[in-house]
Every structure is written in C-alpha cells, then in structure tokens.
C-alpha cells in the first residue's frame, strides 16, 4: 500500500554534508510519522530523527542534535534529512520509515513503524 524510496547517499569526507530524500507513494495513513534510522554492519538499527507529518513536530537522537535536520515537503510527499559535519561514525545504511501516529508513542522505537524503504548507503571517510 505504501512505498518508500530513499536517495541521496554517497561517499563523502569527514566534515562534509549530504541531504537524503525519501519519497512516499501509495495510500498513506491519514496521520503519520516519518522517520530515519541507520544501521552499520554488525550493529542494530538505530533511530536518527522523525517528523510528525501534519504538525511538523520533530524528534532527534541525542547524538545528531545540532548536526542533522529533518524536514518535509508536503507537495512532493517527501521527507529530507540534512546531514552536516558528517563523521566517520555516521557511516551506515540509512532507512526511511513510516508509521501511524498515535499520541504518546515512542517514535524512536523501530517497532512503531509499518513501512520501510530499501535504504541508501552513506559512507564518511576520515
């Protein structure tokens, strides 16, 4: 019912910037949250940032505050992750996800999300 396609990943040097995009298509929920997660080899998938689509409220993992910004373009059904001051430890596959919004839910929990994109690789060299 919902398809998510990420793009914008690549190979950059430490200190550089990237902007990831996630385009949603199909029949979305009436009220939903879009999130970004990342997973490095041998590690668990971890929360990066999320945005409540209609209200625009944002949520960030502590380790990316001040460097990453999540935003949305309603007309394009697209969510973005602007990543500045990238570090080698940011290297991972970045996944876009969508979940139904429910008040009081923890949107850093990957179990809250119903649909996932295929991921886009971000590699940061030292």
Q: Are 80 and 27 in contact (CB under 8 A)?
A: no
Instruction: Give pLDDT, residue 83.
Output: 98
Cα 10–Cα 13–Cα 17 angle in degrees, nearest 5: 65
The span from the CA of 41 to the CA of 60, in Å, is 22
Block residue for tokens 């996630």: 22
Task: Give 17-69 pLDDT, tens digit per residue.
Answer: 999 999 999 977 788 999 999 999 999 999 999 999 888 899 999 988 799 99
Ranking 25-29, 94-98, 112-116 by mean pLDDT, the lowest is: 25-29
Output the average pLDDT for the chain.
94
Average pLDDT over residues 85-93: 97
Q: Is 29 helix (H, G, I), strand (E, B) or coil?
A: coil
């Amino acid at each position: 019912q919902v398809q998510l396609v990420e793009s914008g990943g690549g190979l950059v040097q430490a200190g550089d910037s990237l902007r990831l995009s996630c385009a949603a298509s199909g029949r979305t929920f009436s009220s939903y949250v879009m999130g970004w997660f990342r997973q490095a080899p041998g590690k668990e998938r971890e929360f990066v940032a999320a945005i409540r689509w209609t209200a625009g409220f944002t949520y960030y993992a502590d380790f990316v505050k001040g460097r990453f910004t999540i935003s949305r373009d309603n007309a394009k059904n697209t969510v973005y992750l602007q990543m500045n001051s990238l570090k080698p430890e940011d290297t991972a596959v970045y996944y876009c996800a969508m979940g139904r919004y429910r008040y009081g839910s923890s949107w850093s929990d990957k179990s809250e999300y119903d649909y996932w994109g295929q991921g886009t690789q971000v590699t940061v060299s030292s």
